[in-house]
Amino acid sequence: MYGALLNRDTTFEGVFYVGVKTTGIFCRPTCPAKKPKAENVEYFASPHEALYGGYRPCLRCSPLNKEKKPPELVERLRDAVEQSPTGRVSGVELQAIGIDPSTARRQFQRHYGITFHAYQRARRMGLALNEVRNGNTVIDAQLNNGFESASGFWEAFKSVFGVPPSKAEQVNCLHARWFETPLGAMLALANEEGLHLLEFVDRRGLEREIAGLMKRSKCAVVPGDNSHLEKIGTELKDYFDGTATSFTVPLVTNGSAFEDDVWALLRIIPPGETWSYAQLAQTLNRPMTTRAVGRANGRNCLALVIPCHRVIRADGNLCGYGGGVWRKQWLLEHERQVVRQAA
């Protein structure tokens, strides 16, 4: 890691962060600042761990900056897929353009949480699903999306969506999109009905959360886009730019009746204000359910749009938040500042 820091190796962008003991600042491994001595450095897996370690973000490399782009190689790979989403870029073709296939797999996995091969496959399958749904024949969907073998297409389709192509109309497919924000990357999942999930990608237990959502919704998740993902992208930008404090994207919740009541109530807490768990329970006319309200908050998988960060303890302490207490504090202060400026 120290070698990567000295060489400003983009391969390690997002893999670790560097805390400099002599300055109290933490940086990306690609920071252009003068390099510290090895004995004055400690490493962190994420920005919030560095913040908990007592370090502040570097002003030169902006480790929390939403405009930080993925490594160049990852962008090249992603663009190659989007230029021809129905095709395949093989290992031989990667080598021909000077990219080592193992490096491509590792960097793509590191940045997006899915291998380059799996991303290509899922992208093609998502397009194939839409074709079959829209009336194209299975053979047309197979050929249009780069599958030479009918049996290979059949098996690939079934492994992703759980049903054969002939039953494509039964598949509830969620498209996944990645958004960069000043507080780190967020993952959004949505279908034609609305937004199902919006979470910080480093949230503990996110994989279990997605697996549970897939099971409850009987859906598959593939990379892609739709109008609701476009809308939440715009609304996230407005929120973090300080031009808006609320969201209008349609939501799909998968909770119990009690949880849906709690989540609906969360959405009426005004920006810049906080309620206690007890206050929520009282407003629901169920004063003895404070703990249940807390559990419902924890099960909310639509961060920011269902603002569970606006709930604190009765004594004023911030307490737990799935995205980290440091994010909760930032979000509350951000909203207060936006409200003050609008007043």
* CATH classification at residue 299: 1.10.10.10
- 148 & 215 share domain: no
Q: For residue 179, what pLDDT is reported?
A: 86
Is 254 domain-assigned?
A: yes
Is 64 domain-assigned?
A: no
Distances in Å between the alpha carbon of 17 and those of 34, 58, 63, 102?
Answer: 15, 11, 8, 23
Residues with catalytic function: 308
Distance separating alpha carbons of residues 45 and 17, to the nearest angstrom: 6
Low-confidence ranges of the chain (pLDDT < 70): 48, 52, 65-70, 83-88, 112-113, 122-171
Q: For residue 331, what pLDDT is reported?
A: 93
Distance separating alpha carbons of residues 124 and 88, to the nearest angstrom: 9
Domain's final residue, options 129, 144, 170: 170
Q: For residue 225, what pLDDT is reported?
A: 81
Q: For residue 145, what pLDDT is reported?
A: 44
Is 111 domain-assigned?
A: yes
Q: For residue 154, what pLDDT is reported?
A: 47
Q: What are phi and psi of 204, to 5 degrees?
A: -65, 130
Is 66 domain-assigned?
A: no
Those residues whose C-beta lies under 8 Å from the C-beta of residue 31, and which sit 6 or more positions away, are: 5, 8, 18, 58, 60, 61
Report the CATH number at residue 156: 1.10.10.60
- 76 & 140 share domain: yes
Q: For residue 274, what pLDDT is reported?
A: 94
59 exposure class (CB count in 10 Å sphere: 0-12, 13-18, 19+):
exposed
- 243 & 177 share domain: yes
- 162 & 186 share domain: no
Domain's final residue, options 170, 195, 210: 170
- 106 & 165 share domain: yes
Distances in Å between the alpha carbon of 138 and those of 43, 168, 228, 281?
Answer: 51, 10, 28, 52
Q: For residue 86, what pLDDT is reported?
A: 55
Distance separating alpha carbons of residues 61 and 27, to the nearest angstrom: 6
- 183 & 50 share domain: no
Q: For residue 129, what pLDDT is reported?
A: 56
In tens, the pLDDT along 98-128 reads 888 888 878 777 776 677 877 777 666 666 5
Domain that holds residue 162: 72-170
Is 148 domain-assigned?
A: yes
- 184 & 260 share domain: yes
Report the CATH number at residue 30: 3.40.10.10
Q: For residue 196, what pLDDT is reported?
A: 95
In tens, the pLDDT along 7-19 reads 888 777 777 899 9
DSSP 202-239: T-TTHHHHHHHHHHHHTEEEEE---HHHHHHHHHHHHH
- 154 & 12 share domain: no
Distance separating alpha carbons of residues 342 and 324, to the nearest angstrom: 27
Those residues whose C-beta lies under 8 Å from the C-beta of residue 291, and which sit 6 or more positions away, are: 277
- 129 & 193 share domain: no
Q: How many domains does the chain have?
A: 3
Those residues whose C-beta lies under 8 Å from the C-beta of residue 65, and which sit 6 or more positions away, are: 182
For the chain, counts of helices (H) and of strands (E): 14, 10
- 281 & 264 share domain: yes
Helix (H) or strand (E) holding 276: strand 275-276
- 38 & 119 share domain: no
Is 65 domain-assigned?
A: no
Distance separating alpha carbons of residues 309 and 275, to the nearest angstrom: 10
Rounded to 5°, the CA angle 332-333-336 comes to 90
- 153 & 177 share domain: no
Domain's final residue, options 170, 204, 220: 170
